Structure 1
Amino acid sequence: MAPTLLSTPTSTPALAVKPGTSWSDAWQRCLAVAPEAFDDDRVRNLWAATWQREGRALPATSPVDGSPIAGPPRIDAPTAQQAVRAGLDQHRAWRHVPLPERTARVAATLDALTEHRELLALLLVWEIGKPWRLAQADVDRAIDGVRWYVEGIDPMLAGRVPLAGPVSNIASWNYPMSVLVHAMLVQALAGNAVIAKAPTDGGVACLTLACALAVREGLPVTLVSGSGRELSEPLVAAPEIGCVSFVGGRDTGAGIATAVADLGKRHVLEQEGLNTWGVWDFTDWPALTAVVPKLFDYGKQRCTAYPRFVVQRSLFPDFLAAYLPAVRDVRLGHPLAVEHPDDPLPELDFGPLINAAKARELGDQVADAVDRGAVPLHRGTLSAGRFLPGQDTSAYLAPVTLLAPPPSSPLHHAEPFGPVDTIVLVDTEAELLAAMNASNGALVATLSTDDPAVYARLAPQIRAFKVGHGKPRSRGDREELFGGFGHSWRGAFVGGDLLVRAVTDGPDNGRPPGNFPDYHQMP
């Protein structure tokens, strides 16, 4: 009998960064597109319509794999004050530019952003760890959202005028395009010069490229980097500033809220809150299973993430049967890793957290909560992720789910801003509402219940600006307004014409609809 020939198993090729998507590739493209804004080894600050080399460039690493990338070129408070004064000069000229010309310049900026869409998205991957699909969506939402304003701005500005001074923008790192650049372009469209502080934790190169494209079209944009503590005085309290727009945590937001209240300054302060998903008298478990992986987009590093489930105790077995298989299917890994050069970039739910320090912090909080009595229901491992051979994975954290975090744990009352879910069991509707309102105000919430009457009765008692019925709510854009209750928001609401009203003066006498200490009005 002839010998049997055994085939040699084919090994799976090692993953590698897709050709043309390395940080070096992205940086060289930035130098080619906007040489005025990028040096060989650093980005520049921007004020008085000029790209300035002033500032101490700090070292930075990518959360994706720990490799060196461009860090923010920090300036000091006196230099920032100089930039603010230049911004006021720009504002005084820009506010008199006719609306048709402003509209044309913003539209031209959008065309330029569209032309360089993929480069902007690639910078977001390296700087803040967004998977390719979500990075592209961030860029697209900025462009599409501002186009909506360009096409409908005339009636929004009827009877309204720009503010007396430029708008100062201080935003978190997680949505540089769809939140920060979007707001800046609408503010400029409404007749204001705009000043922005680049987030310390990431996104400076993406913002620099976007601002370079805007300045080329004649928009009055200022972009500076520096520590929040040092730049707070010029960017918040300076008399030249007409409005402060802030997106970030409650601790920093509280200090800004006090400062702007004392000064009587226009403000929009979007702050964190513990967004919750309640489950009561519910049976459509396939619907819940389908939505769970989507709730892990970008590792829950967003203001509208849902890290807390409040579940009717009698439904807990059914909830787990629907939830656990879904959370086990969440995909994470290196956003640019492929097996073959021609492969498309991977479809991931999330990549790294913003940095290794955040991953360690959350890991420590999870360990401490378990030590104090929380029950670990799910602990993912990085071994199931897509990573390069020998890659630095210190900024990555696999999904974790804890039952009943102790009241002493930050995971009980605060937003984790990472892929950690907590579950609280309740027996009565009163307990449900108390648990869903644990953070004294949130941006979004959802209640899953089969009975429309139950939803109609309970939803108004949930302290969130938007409450979904069995579906997640988002920040929204275009015509959809956005705000928050309690400590999750201070100042004017935004979205639709309210974003324009927040940065202009008109018949509302400086008090547009919003969440103010002495004024509560839903538009």
Structure 2
Amino acid sequence: MTLKPGTAWSDAWQRSRAVAPEAFQDDRVLNLWAGEWHADGRALPATSPIDGTPIASPPRLDAPTARQAVRASLDQHRAWRHIPLPERKGRVSAILDALTEHREQLALLLVWEIGKPWRLAEADVDRAIDGVRWYVDNIDAMLEGRTPLPGPVSNIASWNYPMSVLVHAMLVQALAGNAVIAKTPTDGGVACLTLAAALAVREGIPITLVSGSGGELSEALVRSPEIGCVSFVGGRDTGARIATAVADLGKRHILEQEGLNTWGVWNFSDWDALSSVIPKLFDYGKQRCTAYPRFVVQRTLFDQFLAAYLPAVRSVRIGHPLAVEHPEDALPALDFGPLINAAKAKELGDQVVEAIDRGAVPLHRATLADGCFLPGQDTSAYLPPVTLLNPPPSSPLFHAEPFGPVDTIVLVDTEAELLAAMNASNGALVATLSTDDPGTYDRLAPQTRAFKVGRGKPRSRGDREELFGGFGASWHGAFVGGELLVRAVTEGPEGERAPGNFPAYQLIP
């Protein structure tokens, strides 16, 4: 196996510098604030999860500089909100054309920075472009009777979808008349986001892109009075702290957090359909908020479930996303590569060992020998698929989303047990119920505490007009997707109540 020619990190870096020399300097990226690129912040050593290659890291700002950046963003916001909508649409459309031109470069950066296989990296870029273009085409009706927020939108997002989640949100927020602030994810994606921001700021979009630790920058990015809205995507611990802060301040917010998304199997017989979807559920190693790590299976169907599940999970393909047998070969069609870093792979691997020690039954454990790697490469960030039966309640795998390629299975005997197991995490983003009887689905699905429930098919965040949110502890604040994303970052009639999950009310669209 060899690295596909032209795909080395050095190749990706030099091409990025050629496209946006103002944003890339020597071996580091720059911070963007007050409409200019700044060589400030402290960059720590960083390596790619795919093989340990040294890569660029986020240049971490201190709190005083972050506050200065927020104040500058407010000045940009006050000017941008008065730009006519047709002009905003034209500028955002020009950005989309630039992103399309550099689509493969953005995707290659994602491969190196966060370990996405090529197919999924391209999809992340494409979903951002296609999704924002839909808003450009439909924004006029969504903004009727609405105005931009009094201050910029502050975005703090996870590392797993830099383009289709973070850049998509930023461009829609700007299209709606707001200046935009984004903190680069600490664990990866800074070069991809920097290139995207460089293309955007050339069109006059008021973007601020800064890096730093959440603890040091949260005062500026969450609590600053200049901030009009806080948009967060990440884990429950950090989300809970932000939820407390925005509640104290009465600040508008969109807080997407994780939940244990479950797939129930009850009075079901279409095993070919289930088997066909299992490999796709392992896309990106289940490192996404809408992954399905838990199957809740009717005990009397367990043998048939295993007969469908095990051959499918054994077909999951892992390896180095850029490794090919011959230089002229296409990049490998993998389901996933590494986890985000070696520490996460070790943490999850240790949880698996501990769960087995406490009584979980290992049903499937793949090995790295099943994957394709470069000779002698660092594989410390890789964890092959694992499936456990009955994780003990004392294990984190029982009640929390693993954010990795570990499936757990729980057996149940009654519908009450099915619902209890599917609602194990006090709210989720998505769920699925596989059952032959439409009446059973219609009766049980509304009792599942997930924002989206599929019948025999996975649900996802969705694109364009599809709405998205969560129940329970998986979501705080306004729901998004379709027109709701625009409503969440604009002001409407006095007394308007946004659809969402708030301390005082829950309003389902």
TM-score, length of structure 2 as denominator length? 1.00
Match of 2:457 among 471, 474, 477: 471
The yes-or-no answer on 1:361 pairing with 2:351 is: no
Residue 159 (structure 1) aligns with: 145
The yes-or-no answer on 1:135 pairing with 2:125 is: no
Residue 91 (structure 2) aligns with: 105
Q: What letter is aligned with 1:323?
A: Y
Would the aligned equivalents of 2:176 and 2:490 in 1 still touch at CA under 8 Å? Answer: yes
Residue 342 (structure 1) aligns with: 328
Q: Quick one: distance in 2 between partners of 1:509 and 1:348?
A: 50
Residue 11 (structure 1) aligns with: none
The yes-or-no answer on 1:455 pairing with 2:441 is: yes
Match of 1:249 among 235, 241, 250: 235
Q: What letter is aligned with 1:351?
A: G
Residue 371 (structure 2) aligns with: 385
3-state SS of 2:123 partner: helix
Residue 296 to residue 508, structure 1, CA distance change in 2 (3 Å): farther
Please say which structure displays the higher CA radius of gyration: 1
Residue 265 (structure 1) aligns with: 251
What is the root-mean-square deviation of aligned Cα atoms in Å? 0.5
Match of 1:326 among 312, 324, 330: 312
Q: Quick one: distance in 2 between partners of 1:54 and 1:350?
A: 35
Residue 417 (structure 2) aligns with: 431
Q: What letter is aligned with 2:303?
A: P
Q: Quick one: distance in 1 between partners of 2:344 and 2:144?
A: 46
3-state SS of 1:292 partner: helix
Give 1:477 deviation, angstroms. Answer: 1.4
Q: What letter is aligned with 1:217?
A: E
Q: Deviations over 1:433-483 (max 9, x none)?
A: 000000000000000000000000000000000000000001001000000
Q: Quick one: distance in 1 between partners of 2:24 and 2:107?
A: 17
Give 1:510 deviation, angstroms. Answer: 5.6
Would the aligned equivalents of 1:266 and 1:510 in 2 still touch at CA under 8 Å? Answer: no
Residue 190 (structure 2) aligns with: 204
Residue 4 (structure 1) aligns with: none
The yes-or-no answer on 1:372 pairing with 2:358 is: yes
Q: Deviations over 1:61-99 (max 9, x none)?
A: 000000100001000110000000000000000000000
Q: What letter is aligned with 1:92?
A: R
Q: What letter is aligned with 2:126?
A: D
Gaps of at least 5 residues in structure 1 are 1-14
Match of 2:299 among 313, 326, 332: 313
Q: Quick one: distance in 1 between partners of 2:158 and 2:73?
A: 22
TM-score, length of structure 1 as denominator length? 0.97
Runs of 4+ in 1 over 4 A off after TM superposition: none
Q: Quick one: distance in 2 between partners of 1:244 and 1:344?
A: 41
Give 1:512 deviation, angstroms. Answer: 1.2
The yes-or-no answer on 1:215 pairing with 2:205 is: no
The yes-or-no answer on 1:69 pairing with 2:42 is: no
3-state SS of 2:282 partner: helix
Residue 170 (structure 2) aligns with: 184
Would the aligned equivalents of 2:498 and 2:507 in 1 still touch at CA under 8 Å? Answer: no
Gaps of at least 5 residues in structure 2 are none
Residue 282 (structure 2) aligns with: 296
Q: What letter is aligned with 2:420?
A: A
Q: Quick one: distance in 2 between partners of 1:287 and 1:114?
A: 35
3-state SS of 1:134 partner: helix
The yes-or-no answer on 1:57 pairing with 2:43 is: yes
Q: Quick one: distance in 1 between partners of 2:497 and 2:326?
A: 57
Give 1:40 deviation, angstroms. Answer: 1.0
Q: Quick one: distance in 2 between partners of 1:172 and 1:156?
A: 27
Would the aligned equivalents of 1:174 and 1:301 in 2 still touch at CA under 8 Å? Answer: yes
Would the aligned equivalents of 1:120 and 1:139 in 2 still touch at CA under 8 Å? Answer: yes
- Listed as ranges, the matches of 1:81-100 within 5 Å are 81-100=67-86
Residue 12 (structure 1) aligns with: none
Would the aligned equivalents of 2:319 and 2:373 in 1 still touch at CA under 8 Å? Answer: yes
